[in-house]
């Protein structure tokens, strides 16, 4: 099923245009939504998840008109917000049973079966009797996945799920997500480029409420092949280089020198070497091109 968003606009009371006439089509598979903090990712995802209504625009998922018939969407929706709390003094098992009830599973034994399954999928089975409020960050995120799975969703929306997770947890999380997302549409927002690279078959870069680029990770890097150049410079030469070249990113080496990466169709100067493009470069280029041009 395809998620289609057309001309979606949302302006907040304080004048911030969180979503700016946004249109996109998202098909089955993992879809990564990349963007800096405050780009409008959460607003977009909340809007798709029926928690917020836009000022104008249209969203459909398959033949569900999301904005008109949000109940139908909720039936096939799995949503994991950016941050969430849980009822205190309730175990994972009880809470999942609660959510399973909310999601319309009427039969008690079926509820127990699916709760057991999602606990096992998320490797929470051993701690199922512990209060969720006392879980560590990673466990809580996994709990988030567990509750999301309960209605066997067709559309999964996860909002920055890997922020703050340790590497092992992050991997585990992404694996589970990947496994879940084989047959449905997963929209996955992050500001960590790595996540997208590892996981997504499609991606978009969002900033200022607009889609800057809609592509796939492979294509995006392929496009840049032969156009990314690297040089090692002294810290003091940075300003000079910035004025000269289109620097995408710069980072320190241990000897206090800097690596700079530059986007250019031709070799900018002799001391540059060509490097393999990375997804980061795609991201930075997209953001840079969107910057208002000062005259």
β-strand 64-65 against 56-61: which pairing, if any? antiparallel
Please give the structure tokens belonging to residue 127. 């701690």
Q: Tell me the DSSP string of 114-166.
A: HHHHHHHHTT-GGGTTSBGGG--HHHHHHHHHHHHHTT--SEEEEESTTTT--
Residue among 28 and 249 whose Cβ is closer to other proteins = 28
The CB-of-172 to other proteins minimum distance in angstroms stands at 7
Q: Given CA atoms 140, 145, 151, 156 in this order, what sign does their dihedral have?
A: positive
Is 211 exposed, middle or buried (CB count within 10 Å of its CB: 0-12, 13-18, 19+)?
Answer: buried
Cβ 162 vs Cβ 170: under 8 Å: yes
SS3 assignment, position 192: coil
Least Å from the CB of residue 49 to other proteins: 5
Q: Answer for the pair 171, 202: CB distance below 8 angstroms, yes or no.
A: no
- Closest separation in Å from C-beta 168 to other proteins: 5
CB burial of 110-128 (b: ≥16 within 10 Å; e: otherwise) equals: ebeebbeebbebbebbebb
CB of 35 to other proteins, least distance (A): 19
Binding site for other proteins (CB under 8 A): 13, 46, 49-53, 71, 74-75, 77, 79, 81, 83-90, 94, 98-99, 101-107, 110-111, 113-114, 117-118, 120-121, 123, 144, 147, 149, 151-152, 168, 171-172, 175-176, 179-180
Q: In whole angstroms, how close is the CB of 107 to other proteins at the nearest point?
A: 7
Measured from the CB of residue 104, what is the shortest distance to other proteins in angstroms?
Answer: 4
């Amino acid at each position: 099923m395809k998620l289609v968003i057309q001309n979606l606009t949302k302006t907040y009371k304080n004048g911030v245009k969180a979503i700016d006439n946004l249109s996109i089509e998202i098909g089955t598979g993992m879809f990564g939504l990349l963007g800096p903090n405050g780009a409008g990712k959460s607003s977009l995802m909340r809007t798709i998840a029926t928690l917020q209504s836009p000022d104008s625009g249209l969203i459909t998922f398959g033949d569900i008109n999301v904005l008109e018939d949000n109940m139908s969407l909720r039936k096939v929706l799995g949503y994991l917000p950016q941050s969430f709390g849980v009822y205190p003094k309730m175990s994972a098992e009880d809470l999942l049973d609660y959510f399973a009830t909310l999601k319309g599973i009427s039969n008690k034994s079926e509820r127990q079966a699916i709760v057991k399954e999602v606990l096992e999928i998320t490797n929470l089975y051993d701690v199922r009797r512990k209060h969720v409020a006392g879980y560590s960050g990673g466990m809580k995120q996994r709990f988030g996945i567990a509750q999301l799975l309960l209605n066997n969703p067709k559309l999964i929306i996860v909002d920055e799920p890997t922020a703050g997770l340790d590497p092992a947890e992050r991997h585990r999380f992404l694996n589970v997500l990947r496994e879940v997302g084989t047959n449905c549409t997963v929209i996955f927002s992050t500001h960590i480029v790595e996540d997208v690279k590892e996981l997504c078959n499609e991606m978009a870069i969002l900033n200022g409420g607009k889609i800057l680029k809609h592509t796939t990770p492979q294509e995006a890097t392929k496009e840049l092949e032969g156009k990314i150049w690297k040089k090692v410079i002294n810290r003091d030469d940075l300003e000079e280089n910035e004025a000269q070249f289109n620097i995408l990113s710069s980072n320190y080496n241990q000897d206090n020198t800097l690596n700079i990466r530059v986007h250019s169709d031709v070799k900018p100067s002799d001391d540059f070497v060509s490097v393999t493009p990375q997804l980061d470069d795609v991201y930075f280029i997209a953001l840079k091109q969107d910057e208002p041009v000062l005259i």
